[in-house]
Amino acid sequence: MRIAVTGASGFVGGAVCRALISEGVTTFAYGRRPAATHLDGATYRSWDLTHGPLPDAPDVDAVVHCAGSVSDWGPAADLFAANLTGTRSALATFPDARFVHVSTASVYDPFRPSVMVTEDEAPVRRYLNAYAASKAAAERALPRDAIVLRPHAVYGPGDTTLLPRLLSAVRGPVLPVAGTGRQRVSLTSIENLVRACVLAATGPVAAGVFNIADAAPVTIDGALREILRERGVRARPVYVPAVAARPLAAVAEGAFLLARSSRSPRVTRYAISHLAVERTLDITAAREALGYDPHGTTFTGASAW
């Protein structure tokens, strides 16, 4: 079998490449960086999907499309170029291959809790930022015979986004967090997401939308305390009511926009929407159709991430 992986120079794409190589799959890896040394032998080629399709792509049986921007802050044009234009370029490059699209649970409605949401509840028409809107637009651009995977808050070895952002929010002995800490959340380990990608690319299912998460939800407070403990950080979560945090975040966002800052605010309404209310995913469809059998949420070994 021959499989192409986009975004291979990144966190998720690189892990997918290594898994495919370990299973003896001929793997063609693509990423924006000039070179990638963490792919365990996959054939690598630099390709910026925002510039259009690749004219001389190899014939492959499947594509795992991991490329895109995961930033929740930035110019809308850049995010739509990375997430929508990039998806269209990948589709045009491999028109006859099975297409596995790594999307996000951010396509669900950010204005109400997601309580064991099922796949038919997204995309919606209103979003808090261009990241979620662009990922929803990418899903709408897919053909009917694509496979869509929706993970939430991907974590694990190699993570360059979630864990660093969390640790950067620690202030002395305190980690300020919006909400109460009692909210439940579905998280997705990189191991579980990679396994879902391999099942989707190599299994019998040729189309469908699937939530991808760990075996069961956890509470925000429990997850944060375990991360801090594993990392050896002597801090504890302190919770700020969402009704107070949201207007502060709106003001911070406005100030950063007026200043045309390239940096993101330390807190955004988008981040609050994923911390202060329940965000849980029903993974029944993935279990039954893909044969997805995830492990539970764990941060054991996070000191080495």
- pLDDT tens digits, 136-147: 999 999 999 999
Mean pLDDT, range 198-206, rounded to an integer = 97
Q: Does the structure show a pLDDT above 80 at 262?
A: no
Q: Does the structure show a pLDDT above 90 at 73?
A: no
Kindly give the interhelix angle for 11-22 and 190-202, rounded to the nearest 10 degrees: 60
Q: Tens of pLDDT along 31-64?
A: 999 988 789 889 999 999 999 999 999 999 999 9
**Mean per-residue pLDDT of the chain:** 95
Taking the C-alpha atoms of residue 54 and residue 263, their distance in angstroms, rounded to an integer, is 32
pLDDT of residue 157: 95
All structural domains of the chain with their residue ranges: 2-300
Mean pLDDT, range 170-191, rounded to an integer = 96
Q: Does the structure show a pLDDT above 80 at 4?
A: yes
Q: Among the ranges 12-26, 35-49, 259-273, which has the highest mean pLDDT value?
A: 12-26
Q: Please report, rounded to a whole number, the percentage of residues in the chain having pLDDT higher than 90.
A: 83
Mean pLDDT, range 263-283, rounded to an integer = 91
pLDDT of residue 93: 98
Top-tier CATH class for 2-300: alpha beta
Q: Tens of pLDDT along 209-221?
A: 999 999 999 999 9
Q: Out of 37-41, 98-102, 164-168, 295-299, which region has the weakest mean confidence (pLDDT)? A: 37-41
pLDDT of residue 134: 98
Mean pLDDT, range 193-208, rounded to an integer = 97
Q: Tens of pLDDT along 164-174?
A: 889 999 999 99
Q: How confident is the model at residue 160 (pLDDT cuts 50, 70, 90)?
A: confident
Q: How confident is the model at residue 133 (pLDDT cuts 50, 70, 90)?
A: very high
